[in-house]
Amino acid sequence: MRILGIETSCDETGLAVYDTERGLLSHRLYSQTKLHDAYGGVVPELASRDHVLRLLPLTDEVLQEAALTRRDLDGIAYTEGPGLIGALLTGATLAKTLAWTLDIPALGVHHLEGHLLAPLLETPAPAFPFAALIVSGGHSLLMDVRGVGQYELLGDTLDDAAGEAFDKTAKLLGLPYPGGPALARLAESGTPGAFKFSRPMTDRPTLDFSFSGLKTQVLLAIKAQGEDRSRDADIARGFEDAVVDTLVWKCRRALEQTARSRLVVAGGVGANLRLRERLRALPNIEVYFPRPMFCTDNGAMIALAGALRLTAGQREDAVIRATPRRELASLSPPV
Ligand code: KG4
Ligand code: ZN
C-alpha cells in the first residue's frame, strides 16, 4: 500500500510517501520558522495561510521524487489533531478532497501517535511492547505501549511541556524561536554545574512532569547577573542539564514500573543530543530514537502511522475532521 502522509498541525508543512513493502519513498518539510520569528511564537492565522500555499507543490514534489503519480496512491493519512484548528483544517481538507477524487481512503491520525511510532521508520525498529517518552513543544508524556492504539498513560505534563520550557527559557535568554535547538547550542559552551537548578518532581514517585518552576529559577539567575551576559551559556547548560536529568530519572522509573526493557523516545526534544546520550547510557535498556529530523514534526511519521491503521482495515467516512484537543490514551487499536 502506498500512503501519502500530510502533517499540518502547527508551523511545519510535512509531506511524505510511505510504501508498506518498500518503506519511506520520499519526504519534504517546509518550516515556517522565519514567518513567525518576528512574533516570538506561532501566529495561527499566518500558519494556516502558509500551509495552503505549500501543500499542493509539496505533494507534487514527494510524488515526483517517489516516481509516482496521484493515481498510484492507495491511501492518504493526515494529522487530525491535536494542533491549531486552522492549520489542521488545511491538511484535512486536502486529504479528504484528494481521496474523494481518487476514490481511495483518507484517515485522520493522532499527531502524537505519529511521533510515538516515528522510531518504526528506522532500522532496527523497536518491537512492541515498550515504554515511550514523548517530549514535544506541547506535551511531555510517558506511555506504556503494547501495540498500535494500545497506550496507557503513565505520566503527563502538569504545566509547561519540556519543549515549551526550552522555548520559554530560550526567550528569557534572548534566543530566537524555536528556542530548543538554539538553547542547546548555547549550552555547548557552558560550564556544567556552574548553575544548579532543581530537578522538578524527582523527589516523589509520580511520573508526571512540571517544568514551569525551572523557568522562574532561570529568570532569577538571569536577573542576578544584571547587564552582564557573560554567564548566559552557563545558565543554558544548567537548565538543559536539569531538564535532561529529570527526563532520564522519570524514564528510569517508568521502565522499572512497567518492567519494559525497551524505551522509545520521540518528539522535538528527542532531538536533543545530551538527552540522547544520557538515555543511551541506561544499563540493560534498548533505546530507540527517530533520526533527529523525524523527532520534530514531519509527514513521514503521519504516513507511517496511517499506513499501520489503513493496512489493518481501518476506514472513516468522508467528513472533514480536525480535533484541536485529543488524548493519546483515548485511541483504540485499528478497526
Ligand atoms: O514535536 P515538535 O516538532 O512539535 C510539537 O509537536 O510540539 O517539537 C518542537 C519542540 C520545540 O519546543 C523545540 O524547541 C523543541 O521541540 N526542540 C528541542 C530541540 N530540537 C527541537 N529542544 C531541545 N533540544 C533540541 N535539540
Ligand atoms: Zn509534534
Q: Ligand 1, residue 161: give the atom nearest the CA.
A: 12
Largest CA distance in the chain: 64
Q: Is the CB of 271 under 6 A from ligand 1?
A: yes
Q: What is the mean pLDDT of residues 36-52?
A: 93
Distance in angstroms (rounded) separating the CA atoms of residues 171 and 90: 29
Q: Is the CB of 8 under 6 A from ligand 1?
A: no
Spacing of C-alpha 215 from chain mean position? 21
Statement: residue 96 has pLDDT above 90: yes
Q: What is the pLDDT of residues 186-228, one digit of tens each?
A: 999 999 999 999 999 888 889 999 999 999 999 999 999 999 9
Q: Is the CB of 272 under 6 A from ligand 1?
A: yes
Q: What is the pLDDT of residues 245-280, one digit of tens each?
A: 999 999 999 999 999 999 999 999 999 999 999 999
Distance in angstroms (rounded) separating the CA atoms of residues 234 and 195: 6
Q: What is the pLDDT of residues 57-82, one digit of tens each?
A: 999 999 999 999 999 999 999 999 99
Positive or negative CA dihedral for 219, 220, 222, 223?
A: positive
Spacing of C-alpha 311 from chain mean position? 24
pLDDT of residue 53: 98
- Which ligand has the nearest atom to the CA of 270? 1
Distance in angstroms (rounded) separating the CA atoms of residues 167 and 177: 7
Looking at ligand 1, which residue's alpha carbon is closest to its atom 26? 272
pLDDT of residue 335: 84
Positive or negative CA dihedral for 214, 220, 225, 227?
A: positive
In which residue are the cell numbers 517546509 written? 30
| 37: confidence class by pLDDT, cuts 50, 70, 90 | confident
Structure-block grid coordinates of residue 73: 496512491
Positive or negative CA dihedral for 75, 80, 84, 90?
A: positive
Distance in angstroms (rounded) separating the CA atoms of residues 6 and 83: 13
Spacing of C-alpha 70 from chain mean position? 28
Structure-block grid coordinates of residue 56: 499542493
Q: What is the mean pLDDT of residues 235-245?
A: 98
Q: Is the CB of 114 under 6 A from ligand 1?
A: no
Q: How many residues make up the chain in this entry?
A: 335
For the chain, the average pLDDT equals: 96
Residue type, 70: R
Contacts of 281 (CB under 8 A, 6+ apart): none
Contact indicator for 11, 52 with CB cutoff of 8 Å: no
Q: Ligand 1, residue 179: give the atom nearest the CA.
A: 14
Q: Which of 42, 60, 59, 72 is nearest to 7 (CA)?
A: 59
